[in-house]
Structure 1
Amino acid sequence: MKTQSPPVNRPWNLEGWGLRWKVSAVLVIPLTVAMVLGGLRVQDELSKAVNFSSAAKQVADVPAIVDLGTAFGTASAGFAANTMMPEDLQAVDAGIAKVTAAADNPDLSAPVADQLRRSLASIKSLRDQFKPGGTVPATLADDTTAVRSDLTRVIDEIVAPIDDPAVLAEHTRLVGAWSSQRRLADQVSGAVLLLKNPTAPLTHLISASGAELAMIDTLARSFPLEDTKINALREGVQKRTDMIDAAVGGQLPLMELRTSLLKSVAIYGSLIKESSDAITATVTQRADETRSAAIRDAAIVLATLLAAIVLGLLVARSLIRPIRRLRFGALQVANEDLPDAIERIKVGDSSAVTDFEPIPVHTTEDIGQLARAVDDMHGQALKLAGEQAHLRLQIGDMFETLARRSKSLVDQQLGLIENLEFEEKDPKRLESLFRLDHLAARMRRNGDNLLILSGNRVRRAQSAPVQLGDTVRAAMSEVENYQRVQVGSTPHGALSGAVATDVVHLLAELLDNSLRASPPDSKVKITFARAVDGGALLEIVDCGIGIPEGDLAVINDRLASGGEVSPETARHMGLFVVSRLAARHGITVRLRRTFETARDQGVTASVHIPDSLLVSPLEMGHTGPIPRVDTAGMQLVDTAGMQRVDTAGLPQVTVVRSDEMPPLVTETARPAPAPAPNPPGVLPQRTPGATGLPQRVPGAAVPAPLPPTPAPAQQAPAQQVPSATPPPSAPLPPVSAPAGQGFGGFGSAQPVRTESADVDSPPATRHRYRTNAAKTASFFQARPNATASQDVTTTGTPIFSGMVTDWLTDPITSDGPAKREWTSAADQGWTAAHRASEAPVEARTESGLPQRTPGHRLVPGGVDTADRATARPRLRDPEAVRDNLSRHQKGIREGRAASMAERTSIGGDR
Structure 2
Amino acid sequence: MPVLLVTVLLAAGGWVWVTLATPSTGRLLVAVAGGLTGALLCAAVALALRHGRQARAARAEAAALRAELGRLADDTLPTAAKRMREGASADTVFTEIPLPANQTHQRILHTVTKEISFGQRQRSAAMAACASAASRMQALATSMLADLREMENRHSEEVLGDLLKLDHSTAQAGRLADSIAVLTGARSGRRWTKPIVMESILRGAMGRIRAYQRVRLHSASGAAIVGYAAEDVMHALAELMDNATKFSAPSEEVHVYVEELHTGIVVTIEDGGLGMKPQALERAKKAVSASEPLDLARLSGTRLGLAVVGSLARKHTLEVFFRPSSRGGTGVVIRIPSRLVTQPREEFPATAPQPVLAVPAATRAGGTASVSSSAVTAVLDGQQAQQPERSLPKRRRGQTLANTPQPTPRPQPPRPRTDAGARFGAFRQSLRSNKPDGPAANPDS
TM-score under structure 1 length normalisation: 0.35
Instruction: For residues 71-100 of structure 1, give each alpha carbon's deviation from its aligned partner in whole angstroms, at most 9, with x where no partner exists.
Output: xxxxxxxxxxxxxxxxxxxxxxxxxxxxxx
Q: CA deviation at 1:324?
A: 1.7
CA offset at residue 431 of structure 1?
3.2
- Does residue 526 (structure 1) correspond to residue 286 (structure 2)? The answer is no
Pair 1:605–1:460, CA change in 2 (3 A): same
Letter matched to residue 551 of structure 1: A
- Does the residue aligned with 1:604 lie in a helix, a strand or coil? strand
Matched, 1:379 2:113: yes
Distance 2:421 2:113 in 1: 62
CA distance in 2, matches of 1:610, 1:530: 11
| Structure 2 residue corresponding to 1:168, chosen from 17, 20, 23 | 23
Counterpart residue number, 1:332:
75
Query: Percent of aligned pairs with the same residue?
Result: 20
Aligned counterpart in structure 1 of residue 138 of structure 2, from 395, 403, 407: 407
CA deviation string 1:653-674 (max 9, x = no partner): xxxxxxxxxxxx21xx232258
Given the alignment of the two structures, is residue 420 of structure 1 paired with residue 170 of structure 2, yes or no?
no
The equivalent position to 2:334 in structure 1, one of 607, 623, 626, is 607
1:479 partner letter: I
Q: Rate the CA distance shift 1:45–1:166 in 2: closer, same or farther, 3 A.
A: closer
Task: Give the TM-score normalised by structure 2.
Answer: 0.67
Cα distance between partner residues in 2 of 1:752 and 1:355: 70
Cα distance change of structure 1 residues 601 and 46 upon mapping to structure 2, 3 Å threshold:
farther
Q: Tell whether 2:434 aligns with 1:805.
A: no
| Contact 2:299/2:307, CA 8 A, preserved across alignment | no
For residue 829 of structure 1, what is the aligned residue in structure 2?
none
What's the CA shift for 1:508?
0.8
Alpha-carbon distance in 2 for matches of 1:504, 1:171: 114
Q: Check whether the contact 1:353–1:386 (CA below 8 A) recurs between aligned residues.
A: no
- CA separation of 1:481/1:308 partners in 2, compared to 1, >3 Å: closer, same or farther? closer
Output the amino acid matched with 1:711: P
Change (3 A) 1:442 1:328: same
Distance in structure 1 (CA, Å) of the matches to 2:421 and 2:5? 109
Report what 1:478 is aligned to.
208
Distance in structure 2 (CA, Å) of the matches to 1:538 and 1:351: 49
Could you tell me how far 1:340 is from its partner in structure 2?
0.8
The answer on whether the counterparts of 1:481 and 1:515 sit within 8 Å (CA) in structure 2 is yes
SS in 1 for 2:258: strand
Instruction: Check 1:408–1:711 CA distance in 2 against 1; reply closer, same or farther (3 A cut).
Output: same
Equivalent residue, structure 1, for 2:281: 552
* 1:29-52 CA distance string (max 9 Å, x none): xx9xx98x9999888789889xx7
Q: Do the aligned partners of 2:426 and 2:443 also contact (CA within 8 Å) in 1?
A: no
Q: 2:85 aligns with which of 343, 364, 377?
A: 343
Change (3 A) 1:380 1:586: same
CA distance in 1, matches of 2:159, 2:223: 38
Partners of 1:611 and 1:524 in 2: CA distance: 26
In the TM superposition, residue 806 of structure 1 has moved relative to its aligned partner by 6.2
Deviation at 1:500, TM superposition (A): 0.5
Matched, 1:447 2:177: yes
Q: Using the TM superposition, give the Cα deviation of residue 816 of structure 1 relative to its aligned residue in structure 2, in angstroms.
A: 4.6
Do the aligned partners of 1:468 and 1:490 also contact (CA within 8 Å) in 2? no
1:555 is matched by which residue type in structure 2? A
**Offset from partner CA, 1:174-231 (integer Å, 9 cap, x none):** xxxxxxxxxxxxxxxxxxxxxxxxxxxxxxxxxxxxxxxxxxxxxxxxxxxxxxxxxx
Q: Which residue of 2 aligns with 1:457?
A: 187
1:646 is matched with which residue? none
Match in the other structure for 1:539 = 268
Judge conservation of contact 2:168–2:208 (CA < 8 Å) in 1.
Answer: yes
SS at the partner of 2:267? strand
Letter in structure 2 aligned against 1:542:
D
Letter in 2 for 1:536: I
Q: Kindly report which structure 2 residues correspond to 1:42-53, keeping only aligned pairs within 5 A, or say none.
A: none
Could you tell me which runs of 5 or more consecutive residues in structure 2 were left unpaired when the two chains were aligned.
28-37, 355-411, 433-438
2: CA distance between counterparts of 1:320 and 1:592? Answer: 53
Provide the rounded CA distance (Å) in 2 between the counterparts of 1:606 and 1:494: 18
CA contact (8 A) 1:333 1:378 kept: no
In structure 2, the CA distance between the partners of 1:379 and 1:417, relative to structure 1 (3 Å rule), is closer
Q: Cα offset for 1:505?
A: 1.0
The CA deviation at 1:566 is 3.3
Structure-2 separation of matches of 1:571 and 1:171: 102
Q: How many residues matched?
A: 370
Contact 2:80 2:113 in 1 (8 A): no
CA distance in 1, matches of 2:250, 2:26: 125
**Residue 585 of structure 1: CA displacement?**
1.8
Asked if the contact 1:342–1:385 (Cα under 8 Å) also holds between the matched residues in 2, the reply is no
Q: Equivalents in 1 of 2:138, 2:280: separation in Å?
A: 34
Give, in angstroms, the shift of residue 502 of structure 1: 0.9
Structure 1 pair 395–415 and aligned structure 2 pair: CA distance change class (3 A): closer
1:496 aligns with 2:226: yes
Instruction: Map Cα deviations across residues 808-862 of structure 1 (whole Å, 9 max, x no partner).
Output: 89xx9634577xxxxxxxxxxxxxxxxxxxxxxxxxxxxxxxxxxxxxxxxxxxx
> Which one has the largest radius of gyration?
1
Q: How does 1:242-257 map to 2 (within 5 A)?
A: none
Q: Is the 8 A contact 1:358 1:375 kept in 2?
A: no
Instruction: Report how far residue 581 of structure 1 moved.
Output: 1.9
1:308 and 1:817 map into 2 onto residues whose CA distance is 111
Give SS of 2:333's match. Answer: strand
| 1:249 aligned partner | none
Amino acid at match of 2:340: L
Distance 1:350 1:312 in 2: 39
| Deviation readout 1:593-645 (Å, 9 max, x if unpaired) | 426xxxx9522222222233223x2xx6x5xxxxxxxxxxxxxxxxxxxxxxx
Amino acid at match of 1:329: L
How many angstroms does 1:313 deviate by? 4.0
- CA distance 1:571–1:710, shift in 2 (3 Å): same
The one-letter amino acid paired with 1:434 is L
Distance 1:807 1:589 in 2: 48
Cα deviations by residue, 1:556-602 (Å, 9 ceiling, x for unpaired)? 2122234332384432222332222222222233334426xxxx952
Question: Residues 351 and 586 (structure 1 numbering): CA distance in 2 closer, same or farther, change over 3 Å?
Answer: farther
Do the aligned partners of 1:527 and 1:538 also contact (CA within 8 Å) in 2? yes
Distance 1:709 1:311, change over 3 A: same
- Structure whose residues are more often strand by fraction: 2
